[in-house]
Amino acid sequence: MIPMTIQHVTVVGAGVMGRGIAYVSALSGFNTTLVDVSEKQLNDALGSAKKTAQKGIELGKVTESDYENLLQNLQLSQDLAITVQRTDLVIEAVPEKREIKQNVLETACKHAPKHTVLASNTSTISPTELGSFTERPSQVAVMHFFNPVHKMRLVEIVRGLETSDHTVETIRKTAEAMNKETVEVNEFPGFVTSRISALVGNEAFHMLQEGVASAEDIDKAIKLGLNYPMGPLELGDLVGLDARLNNLKYLHETLGEKYRPAPLLEQYVKAGRLGRKTGKGVYDYTAKGELVKK
C-alpha cells in the first residue's frame, strides 16, 4: 500500500487543538492553512505559534531557520470552501458537536479535489458517522492528536466501516512526518484514550464535589501516588471543561451510566468556568494562561 504524499494540509478550527496541529504541521514542512470562522481566533493562533516556536528556540529544539519556514508555511483563512480547493488533507478540529462537524465535512467534501483525505480530530465521535456526512467515506478517518500537540507524541488513528487502507496509511505517514507515534484503534466510542481520560477526570470532579480532598491534593495524590504526569483536574482545565463535558455526554449516551457527567462539572461549564482558556476553571489563571498560586 503506497500512501499518498501530502503537500498541503488544511486545519479547520483555530482553538486549543487546531492551532497546535497547524503549528506542528507547518513546522514539519507541510504547506498549512488554518481556517476558522473567527478572525480573533486565527490571530491568537498565529501569536501562540510564534510564542511556542520562540520557546522552542530558547530550549534548542527549534532552529531560526525552522522558525522562518514555520512562518512561511502557515497561512490563515476564514474561507473553508476556497482553501480546500488546493488541499491534500483536511484535519477538522472544530467543537465536539455533530452538527458543526457535519457542516465542515460537507463543505470540505464538496470543494476539495477528489483525492483529498478528510480527517477528524474528534475525541469521541464515530468515524463511520463522520464518513456518512461526506460522499467519500473511504477517505474519512479519525486522526486524534493530544494536548499540547507539539509535546504529545501520540496520534490515535481510528477507521470507520468504509475507511480504506490507503487512507489509514496516508494518515499514518503524515503523522510520522510530524514526528508522532501512531496506534490504530477499532471504532468504539471514546477510542482508547478519551474513554479512560473522561472516566478519571469525571471521578476527580465527583471527589471534589464530595469534599474528599482539595483540588490541589487530588491532583497531587494522582501525580505522586499513581505517577501521572498531570493531575486530572489540572488536565481538565488544560483540555477545556466544556470539551470534557461534551465528551462525557457523548460517552454517557453511547456507553451508559458510568459516564454520567458529575454535577459540579456541569455547573462549572454553565458558569463559564471552562479552564485555562477563560482564565478560570478548577484553578485560576493569569491572562497569559499561567496558574495563579494560592
Closer of 4 and 171 to ligand NAD (Cβ): 171
Residue 155, marked binder:
no
Lookup: cell for 53: 516556536
Is 17 a known ligand-binding residue?
Answer: yes
User: Total residues contacting ligand NAD (rule CB under 6 A)?
Assistant: 27
Instruction: Supply the minimum distance, in Å, between the C-beta of residue 2 and ligand NAD.
Output: 29
18 labeled part of a ligand binding site: yes
CA-to-CA dists, residue 77 to 22, 31, 102, 209, angstroms: 12, 13, 20, 42
Q: Tell which one of 4, 15, 34, 130 touches ligand NAD (CB under 6 A).
A: 15
84 is in an annotated binding site: no
Is residue 147 involved in binding ligand NAD (CB under 6 A)? yes
Establish whether 277 is an annotated binding residue.
yes
Does residue 231 interact with ligand NAD by CB under 6 A?
no
Residue 15, marked binder: yes
Q: Is 96 known as a binding-site position?
A: yes
Where in 89-128 is the site for ligand NAD (CB under 6 A)?
A: 93-96, 100, 103-104, 121-123
Q: Is 137 a residue that touches ligand NAD (CB under 6 A)?
A: no
Residue 100 and residue 128 in contact, taking contact as beta carbons nearer than 8 Å: no
Looking at the DSSP bridge assignments, the partners of residue 280 are 275, 284
Examine residue 83 and tell whether it contacts ligand NAD (CB under 6 A). no
Q: Decide: 102 and 129 in contact? Cβ < 8 Å.
A: no
Rounded distance between C-alpha atoms, residue 33 and residue 86, angstroms:
10
Closest residue to bound ligand NAD by CB: 15
Q: What is the C-alpha separation between 249 and 256, in angstroms, rounded? A: 10
Helix, strand or coil, per DSSP, at residue 221: helix
Question: Does position 12 bind ligand NAD by CB under 6 A?
Answer: yes
- Alpha carbon distance, N-terminus to C-terminus of the chain: 55
In whole angstroms, how close is the CB of 67 to ligand NAD at the nearest point?
A: 24
Is there binding between residue 237 and ligand NAD (CB under 6 A)? Answer: no
Is the distance from CB of 21 to CB of 150 less than 8 angstroms? no
Please tell me the distance from the alpha carbon of residue 272 to that of residue 69, in angstroms, as a whole number.
37
Comparing CB distances to ligand NAD, the nearer of 121 and 182 is 121
Q: Which residue has the cell 514555520?
A: 70
Question: Within positions 22 to 81, which residues make up the interface with ligand NAD, using CB under 6 A?
Answer: 35-38, 41
Q: How far is the CB of 215 from ligand NAD (least distance, A)?
A: 19
Question: Distance between CA 58 and CA 68 in Å, rounded?
Answer: 15
- Residue in the structure block whose three cell numbers are 472544530: 94
108 is in an annotated binding site: no
Using the contact rule CB under 6 A, the part of the chain among 8-16, 60-68, 157-165, 209-217 near ligand NAD is 8-16
CB 236 within 8 Å of CB 281? yes
> What span, in angstroms and rounded, lies between the C-alpha atoms of 18 and 33?
11
Give Cβ neighbours of residue 138 (< 8 Å, ≥ 6 apart): 131, 162, 163, 164, 167
Which one of residues 6, 9, 11, 14 is an interface residue with ligand NAD (CB under 6 A)?
14
Binding site for ligand NAD (CB under 6 A): 12-18, 35-38, 41, 93-96, 100, 103-104, 121-123, 146-147, 239-240, 243
Q: Annotated binding site for NAD(+), which residues? A: 13-18, 36, 96, 101, 123, 147, 277
